Amino acid sequence: MTEELKHWVGGKKVAGESGRFADVFNPATGEVIARVPLASRAEVDKVVKNAQEGFEVWSEMAVPKRASIIFRFRELLVQNQDKLAEVLGREHGKTIPDAKGEIQRGIDVTEFACGVPHLIKGEFNQNVGGNIDLYSIREPLGVVGGITPFNFPVMIPLWMGVMAVACGNAYVNKPSERDPSSADFLAELWTEAGLPDGVWNVVHGDKEAVDALLEHPDVPAISFVGSTGVGEYIYQHGCANNKRVQAFCGAKNHMVIMPDADMDQAADALIGAGFGSAGERCMAISVAVPVGQATQDALIERLAPKVEALKIGAYNDPEADINPLITVQAKERVESLITKGVEEGADLLVDGRGARLQGYEGGFFVGATLFNNVSREMDIYKTEIFGPVLSVTKPQSFDSAVQMINDHEYGNGVAIFTRDGDSARAFSKRVDVGMIGVNVPIPVPMAFHNFGGAKRSKFGDTQMHGPESIRFFTKMKTISSRWPSGIKEGAQLAFPTND
Ligand code: NAD
């Protein structure tokens, strides 16, 4: 029997009532392994009401006590890392080492959040005039929503949710309906850690549930991670409903290889960053930009055999390099983009279409694919492919490489490989991209720094985790205070100054 998943509301599992469900697949076999309920507006409303009750309790709890519960949750994440990697891998398809890496990045943010008593501290000035002390404090917003994508089903709900909860909010996660079980697992761990009921909730669903959150009068803020089209809609619709919204979206990340770079290191970096997680990462490198013809030749000579050697496989196959894509539609889309690249005139050096694996004939696999001589006009250059496809562009100059990057609609991550500090410095200054790597192909900042892209890779001003998350998930209050002994006699009608 196919397992029927449940929402997580008020500290317990709650069956879906809408009668609508979506199938959840094991991408390695193509089999349906679960059905996830798709919440109605009325169900979302119930979740928000429950979360408000959780918020009343949680926001009144002393901050160090809140931190100790987060600390316990961190311990449970560490203890359950293997189980969580299994749940994640089965539905997402990524390999166990990759899943553990993702979980670790979620643990990192949880560790950062344990310092919330320090992070949330306000500001104080004594006697700013007339014996008045002036102080600013950060208060939670209330019930906040987190709408998360399929490609990091543990890390991203944690990146936003742990910071939201650390700041004293209640959190409603609407995870991807394609790999929803990890979100339920996290919610159970929170309850085990002692989080009051209703503070961390999971409502499964699709556009109907998302719209219900976006329009709900008792949800003041929404954090979103996903594709650009959906993110732009969420940002605009959420703002139109007077919410604070941040949306982290699609990407096309370039890596520039300078003629002085160590070519073996550069090729290895491209294999890891281009094909890890089958390219289904917002920080994947999908475009390699060689500076000069000799660089292109040296790179291709090293890359092609390495790409050829990459093996497709299921999440629990220790030999696997390339996991299956999330759905059969994703597989078909990526394969049709490869066909488009051939029609557009790019040189297809390694073709991953039609990949088959014995015993996994129904799996959604696309093999590692390498294009050479890709140009700026081609669809395969412009589009976020989100699959195991690496495009090497025609040789560029340093200036034209920077121009290409700045002209692209996305600006999430970028990297340069070089031994020359001047080039690296000029590059970091000139590119309009949120996260830059110098000889670091996947420059995802650590939890105590901020994460976020530029241009159409992000909507809204604030970034994910780091100090900016404290700003996003709190509102500021400023209090001017004095005591009767400091008040001068008589009414003062002129506008107050610091005399
Ligand atoms: P997606 O946009 O399809 O889905 C994201 C979330 O939005 C899911 O919870 C989904 O249920 C919901 N959703 C989907 N369609 C909707 C609609 N029409 N209205 C309202 N809600 C809707 O994204 P995905 O395929 O799950 O994730 C992959 C995308 O996410 C890629 O574009 C990737 O680059 C991006 N991503 C970005 C970052 C980042 O930090 N910039 C990180 C991870 C993933």
| Assigned token pair, 417 | 């490989």
Side-chain half-sphere exposure of 392, counting CA atoms within 13 A:
30
Domains of the chain: 3-249+457-479 (3.40.605.10), 253-438 (3.40.309.10)
The catalytic residues are: 282
Percent of the chain with pLDDT over 90: 98
Yes or no: say if 8 and 201 are a contact pair by the CB < 8 Å rule.
yes
- Digit-coded pLDDT (tens) for 417-431: 999 999 999 999 999
What value does the mean pLDDT take over residues 225-246? 98
Torsion angle in degrees (nearest 10) through CA of 124, 493, 489, 485: -10
40: left (phi over 0), alpha (psi -120 to 50) or beta: beta
Side-chain half-sphere exposure of 361, counting CA atoms within 13 A:
2
Yes or no: say if 129 and 480 are a contact pair by the CB < 8 Å rule.
no
Q: Is the pLDDT of residue 497 over 90?
A: no
Yes or no: say if 263 and 255 are a contact pair by the CB < 8 Å rule.
no
Task: Give residue 131's pLDDT.
Answer: 94
With a CB cutoff of 8 Å and minimum separation 6, the contacts of 259 are 291, 292, 294, 295
Q: How confident is the model at residue 499 (pLDDT cuts 50, 70, 90)?
A: low
Centre of ligand 1 to C-alpha 173, Å, is 13
What's the rounded Cα separation, in Å, for the pair 310 and 375?
A: 25
Pick from 286, 309, 456, 445: which is nearest to 368 by CA? 309
Centre of ligand 1 to C-alpha 235, Å, is 13
Amino acid at 390: L
Query: Which atom of ligand 1 sits closest to the CA of residue 175?
Result: 9
Task: Give residue 498's pLDDT.
Answer: 73
Torsion angle in degrees (nearest 10) through CA of 101, 102, 104, 107: 180
Yes or no: say if 120 and 112 are a contact pair by the CB < 8 Å rule.
no
- Digit-coded pLDDT (tens) for 453-472: 999 999 999 999 999 999 99
Centre of ligand 1 to C-alpha 18, Å, is 23
Identify the residue whose C-alpha is closest to ligand 1 atom 43: 282
What's the rounded Cα separation, in Å, for the pair 321 and 310?
A: 6
- Digit-coded pLDDT (tens) for 309-319: 999 999 999 99
Torsion angle in degrees (nearest 10) through CA of 129, 135, 136, 138: -170
- Ligand 1 neighbours (beta carbon < 6 A): 147-152, 174, 176-177, 206-207, 210, 225-227, 230, 248-251, 282, 384, 386, 412, 453, 457
Yes or no: say if 283 and 251 are a contact pair by the CB < 8 Å rule.
yes
- Digit-coded pLDDT (tens) for 177-228: 999 999 999 999 999 999 999 999 999 999 999 999 999 999 999 999 999 9
Instruction: Give the three-state DSSP class for 108.
Output: helix
- Digit-coded pLDDT (tens) for 88-119: 999 999 999 999 999 999 999 999 999 999 99
Pick from 374, 378, 432, 422: which is nearest to 402 by CA? 432
Q: How confident is the model at residue 2 (pLDDT cuts 50, 70, 90)?
A: confident
Query: Which atom of ligand 1 sits closest to the CA of residue 384?
Result: 32
Per DSSP, 195 falls in state P
**How far is the CA of 70 from the CAs of 120, 161, 176, in angstroms?**
15, 11, 24
- Digit-coded pLDDT (tens) for 317-336: 999 999 999 999 999 999 99
Residue 111's φ and ψ, nearest 5 degrees, are: -65, -40
How many C-beta neighbours within 10 Å does residue 54 have?
25
What's the rounded Cα separation, in Å, for the pair 328 and 278?
A: 14
pTM for the model stands at: 0.97
| Assigned token pair, 402 | 């920077």
Centre of ligand 1 to C-alpha 261, Å, is 35
Task: Give residue 496's pLDDT.
Answer: 83
What's the rounded Cα separation, in Å, for the pair 454 and 255?
A: 16
Q: Is the pLDDT of residue 1 over 80?
A: no
Please list, residue by residue across 432-444, b when 16 or more beta carbons sit within 10 angstroms of its beta carbon and e when fewer do: ebbbbbebebbbb
Instruction: Give the three-state DSSP class for 162.
Output: helix
Yes or no: say if 412 and 226 are a contact pair by the CB < 8 Å rule.
no
Query: Which atom of ligand 1 sits closest to the CA of residue 250?
Result: 34
Which residues are paired to 348 by β-bridges? Answer: 371
Identify the residue whose C-alpha is closest to ligand 1 atom 37: 249
Query: Which atom of ligand 1 sits closest to the CA of residue 458?
Result: 41
Q: What is the mean pLDDT of the chain?
A: 97
- Digit-coded pLDDT (tens) for 357-368: 999 999 999 999
Per DSSP, 484 falls in state G
What's the rounded Cα separation, in Å, for the pair 180 and 91?
A: 8
In terms of DSSP H, where are the helices of 410-491? 421-430, 466-472
What value does the mean pLDDT take over residues 152-161? 98
